[in-house]
Amino acid sequence: MAAPAVSVTPYWELTFDADGDVDGGERDRLLAEVARRGVRDLIVFAHGWNNDRPGATRLYSHFFAPVPALAPKARLGYVGVVWPSMRFSDEPIPDFDPKAVTATSAASERPVLDKRTRHALLEVFPGRATVVEQIARLLDQQPDEGASLEEYGRLVRLLVEVRPQGPQTAFTADTLSEGVPEGDPRMLFEDTAEVCGEFAQALARAASPDGAEASFALPRLWDGAHELLRQATYFAMKRRAGTIGERGLGRVVGQLAGAAPEVRVHLVGHSFGGRLVSFALRGLPEGVRTVKSVTLLQGAFSHYAFAARLPHDARASGVLHGQQNRIDGPLVCCYSHFDAALGTIYPLASRMSGDSASLADFDLGRVLGAKWGAMGHDGAQAVDDTHSLTLADALKAHLPVSGCVNIDAAAVVRRGGPPAGAHSDICHQELARVVLAAGRIA
């Protein structure tokens, strides 16, 4: 296979399937070549909302481009993780999709599945073509909001379900209550019309400058239906990211430690890729200490994932509690309040079974109770000895050499239209400098 065209060298890719199985040829190539190429520091980046190799490679090339000039004496190598994830094509990525802003405006008039999104769903959920076509037809026709909406909800659940005996079923949770993982989000099981109404109202409030008009307007349920599909899909990606991190990437990093023990590994993840690299810590073989830093860019998983105890429930803890101690260096979490995807819609979609939270708990993208917040919205929470810095301060001083470090990156992570806001605005030299600082790469 021809080497992908990227801005840096040496560069390798690791491709994983939905259950965490790695492409053996790519893995063996990395293990055989990394020491021979004289690599001292290996930066491993996992994407979030991409659904194909060219899109992921383009992101890595763009993000890595300034790194060689920032650390000219470092012996660097680069790995791009490719895994079956996706984003909806109406979510513009700054500097990547200039036409997507227009598509977003058009989509807001009538929520349909465009060809790019339909193709992405078919790629990411193989064998579900009939379900995807039925969902697309209902979104296009938008029939009555009774039985048709319930049928739509059934189809969405069918699309994202996994085999009961498959490995992905064990990777849903971000928190544990008395040692028991949380259940699937209520959006997959509640009355579909009610869920769609809440999503529609949340979208309207997020799009309104002051939220006043949306508070009194009747929500269009089919707008919410489109958002239900988006969030159910992202729930599936979140579950999948944990699977691939622990069963896939963690094992490969362990194998790399055996093949090239002097190589220092630095894990970087965007969005659900942040969850993937975090779960990779749980998959490391015992005694492996080659991971020298983890940097999360707009991480799309619970800000309590590393907590020993949840503030609202002393019986509960984060599913990754203590895993930050497996890093021989810091866990750095970059966040931004301009990330509308994580500030408004993510908490609403993340309500768990039995919780009574409703749209009343949300105010213009700010989660008043902070119960279901995401890493990329306000950083890691309820973790002892966590340091909090502005981006400017983080770049001026040495970062802590261990523990959790929250960095407010809103100074650069600020561009992007609805519904995702600045969620994908991550290709900045300043963030590349954070990765180097976290890894103590000269």
pTM: 0.86
What distance in Å separates the CA atoms of residue 425 and residue 422, rounded to the nearest whole number? Answer: 5
Do 221 and 273 sit in the same domain of this protein?
Answer: no
pLDDT, position 345? 65
In this structure, the answer to whether residues 193 and 135 fall within a common structural domain is yes
Non-local CB neighbours of 363 within 8 Å, separated by 6+ positions = 211
What residue ranges in 39-185 does DSSP mark as E strands?
Answer: 41-46, 76-82, 175-177, 180-181
Token reading at 56: 């992921």
CB hemisphere CA count around 330 (13 angstroms): 27
> How far apart are alpha carbons 426 and 438 in whole angstroms?
16
356 inside domain: no
The pLDDT of residue 364 is: 37
397 in a structural domain: yes
* Same domain, residue pair 124 and 223: yes
Q: Domain ends where: 207, 237, 267? A: 237
Cβ of 392: how many Cβ atoms within 10 Å? Answer: 12
Q: Are residues 258 and 214 in the same domain?
A: no
Q: Determine, yes or no, domain membership for 93.
A: no
Examine the domain organization and report whether 330 and 402 are in the same domain. yes
Instruction: Please check whether residues 135 and 228 belong to one and the same domain.
Output: yes
The answer on 142 and 32 residing in a single domain is no
CA distance 48 to 386: 25
Evaluate whether residue 268 is within a structural domain: yes
CB environment 363-384: b (16+ within 10 A), e (fewer): eebebeebbbbbbbbbbbbbbe
Of the three residues 182, 211, 237, the one that is the final residue of a domain is 237
Which tokens hold the place of 263?
């190589």
Q: Is 25 left (phi over 0), alpha (psi -120 to 50) or beta?
A: alpha
Residue 62 inside a domain? The answer is: yes
Model pLDDT, residue 151: 94
CATH number at residue 80: 3.40.50
Q: Are residues 128 and 275 in the same domain?
A: no
Pair (119, 188) in one structural domain: yes
187 lies in a domain? yes
Residue 288 lies in a domain: yes
Of residues 62, 25, 64, the one with CA closest to residue 43? 64
**pLDDT at residue 366 in the model:** 44
pLDDT averaged per 10 residues in sequence order, the chain, 442 residues: 81 96 98 97 93 89 97 98 84 59 44 84 93 94 86 93 79 72 69 87 69 55 89 88 97 98 98 96 96 97 92 87 97 94 69 38 42 87 95 94 97 86 93 98 88
Residue 390 and residue 263 in one domain? yes
* Same domain flag for 314 and 326: yes
Tell me which of 237, 257, 275 is where a domain ends: 237
Q: Is residue 31 part of a domain?
A: yes
User: Which domain, by its residues, includes 394?
Assistant: 11-86+240-344+374-438
Residue with tokens 């954070």: 434
Count of structural domains within the chain? 2
Q: In this structure, are 66 and 154 located in the same domain?
A: no
